[in-house]
Structure 1
Amino acid sequence: MSEGNSANTAPAAEPGGSGDAKTSLFQRLYTGTGAFDIVGHRKRWFAAFALLILVCAGSLGVKGFNLGIEFEGGTQIQLPAQGAAGPIDEDEAKAVVSEATGVSASEAQVVGVGDSAAVQVRLSSLDPGQVADAKQALFDEFRPLAANGQPSGAVISDSGVSASWGGEISKQALIALAVFLVLVTVFLVIYFEKWMAVSAIITLLHDIVVTAGVYSLVGFEVTPATVIGLLTILGFSLYDTVVVFDKVKENTRGLLNLTRRTYAEAANLALNQTLMRSINTSIIALLPVLGLMVIGYLLLGTGTLQDLALVQLTGMLAGVVSSVLLATPLLVTFKMREPKYREQAERVAERRAERAGAAQAGEAAEGVDPDDYFDPGDDAQLETELRKEKAVAAAASVPARNQKARDRNRGRDQRPRRSGTPTGKSTAGKGTPTGKRKRS
């Protein structure tokens, strides 16, 4: 009994109880027994996320983004990656263009593979004379080969992009983000409740800031495909958070009338029950993103696919971590600020203290339910506990007068009847017609 009492009196410190000795780590992970005290260590997660947000926000403010040509405007010069003297190095091409135009090229990269490989050099806007000088210098230096295998200056192309186009993309993306956040907030308030909506929105904003901060820190180029990918990860992050909150809502229904578990413990149990699902969903979702990056970029050499895959990979990783370690701990912090949940937690602590005192004093267990010594690491106890709580919550939602009337009707229906006799009618003797009484 002392082991069960320990699990009951200090569930946050030893959430696994005796389950640690009975089951392996992976088994508890799959069964969701509440063995991982995520909510109980929420201050650690808050400190880690605050530090991450501070670093990302600082990078955004100091370093900023590596904006692509679509946002800043400029000129792009492209030529085949194969020249008369062999493969063309992108850094050498960048140096040739900078020397010929007098303008420092911002970026040079090789896109595509095999015969379709090409070198792209990007720099600020050039006038037609500078573009012509750059093309001639590239041809004189590398003599790029055409499809027929002969050097040709016609294979060197150029394109110019106005910065206004990228600005319009950014404006529309911000409008879409604002509309999305408003609609999501309304939905969460209606389907769940206020604090769940607030926690989900904070988690969503965290994912946006972290994804943007990673792009700023690493120096990934921001393109229109990056903006599109950023908008797509919002739905994934919100989906995982909603799944966890739905389980929290189920586990905490009718909780204020119970003294077996606090809101924090019920939320932590819900988080454990959906933890493996979150991990599996994330792995399955990341597989096609990795395929998009490997096949689209490394094999096909498409820069747009690389940009799209990078932002989705970063955002999905940030989303799954925040939905597990940030959303539910935030929810518990907000809920425990309400007096009714603090009072319920005090009643739980008092009840456990009484049970612990009775067990230590060796008193008789009169009026003590053996299930009071709850071990969240025991699957059988956990299943019984959840079934009891659902039954109590369901009974609490039915008005008392309807329940009494139903009990009276059930009592009348259960009175003994003779076989073959219609309900509500009786016979006085043999041969008496059904439904008629024999007069004395």
Structure 2
Amino acid sequence: MAQLVRRYLDRILDEHRQVTDGALACYIPELARVDPHGFALSLSSADGFIYECGDAGVEFTIQSISKPFTYALALDQIGQNAVDAKIGVEPSGEAFNEISVDEATKKPKNPMINAGAIAAVSLIPASTPDERFAMIAEFYSACAGRRLELDRDVYSSEKATGSRNRAIAYMLQSFGVLDDDPDDVLDVYFRQCSFNVTSTDLARMAATLARGGVNPLTGRRVTNAAVVKRTLSVMVTCGMYDAAGDWVSAVGMPAKSGVGGGIVAVLPGQLGIGVYSPLLDAKGNSVRGVRLCRSLSEQLGLHFLTVARDSRATLRAVYEPRDGIRVYETHGDLLFSGAEQVARTVERERADFAAVILDVSRVDDIDDTARELLSGISAALRAEGRAGYLVDPAGIVIRNELEYETVRYATVDDAVAAAERDLRA
């Protein structure tokens, strides 16, 4: 049944495939050489299951998506008070590479702009630049669930053209924000921005944040829930630079973009998203990536202010009234996350039964995405030689039985009786 979700995600990706607006990040020469047509979406559930669409295997550099993870590492290593003494948490309303600090505090305004990100690098406790970089590499890799590698060509390109960041670093030193040599700090910063990732790496890194610091693929606790809470809070207000307001209103997920074309987005407790498309808008955000995330949020009900509804969407009970017949009883409100859970649970357990009954009689509300996924379960089971039945007395999933070639039953007993007749036939 996971293919039902994958087809739905493919369709959303295809809605934006023909968009050609934007431009490559030509101010970093190596980034101006990437294929402008690359387009990928990866989605990780909270238990680590991955859906991949488009060019999910294509590697690109993480760039500014590194910022929240270095910030999280600094929080993890030296604590919030020490980090707050050097970096603020207020939206800047400025370009990501603005040469500025807060007028009153003389600190970077937040860790998601370059000034704050450079300061965050300096806060990683280490005796040498290489030791500091090794700590960052280990943390990123633990979040991704695999060892991430440096793109040395991009690193060299960034270092050769990083005059603006050098100006920012020396400004920070003049205000007492940087205690270490600015060039040493910058070298680590250029390296951290040059890790190669895929959209799937980003989805897994996002899912690690969604799980409160536990990587769902490896089961390893990378950091603690307090660090994640603080990091996601800053991502909500500052992660998309001076487009943060539009993003929060329309998409409603903590997120971070990078000029390599990636976007990472987190729905706490539920899933992580990684997107890639290298053509950027004037604010440095991926054009297709932003549009894709907007569609995902709208069509899958992912805005974080709808989470309270979806958190009640779960399997109420699973039982077998007869040998070979399994009932999956749902309740509450069903949005994408809940429907995906039901579909994948049925798929995972399908070898254990000959017939499945999906009982939606206790569902209060359902959106179109969940309706489409659940209505496809019976057809998917039939294609595998199994039988599927739907208890849907109010017609909330199947509004037209002829359209879906599925019979709705009023009670579980009616569906069990039909299943027994069919299995005897």
Calculate the TM-score normalised by the size of structure 2.
Answer: 0.24
Greater helix share, 1 or 2? 1
Calculate the TM-score normalised by the size of structure 1.
Answer: 0.23
Q: Which is greater in Rg? A: 1
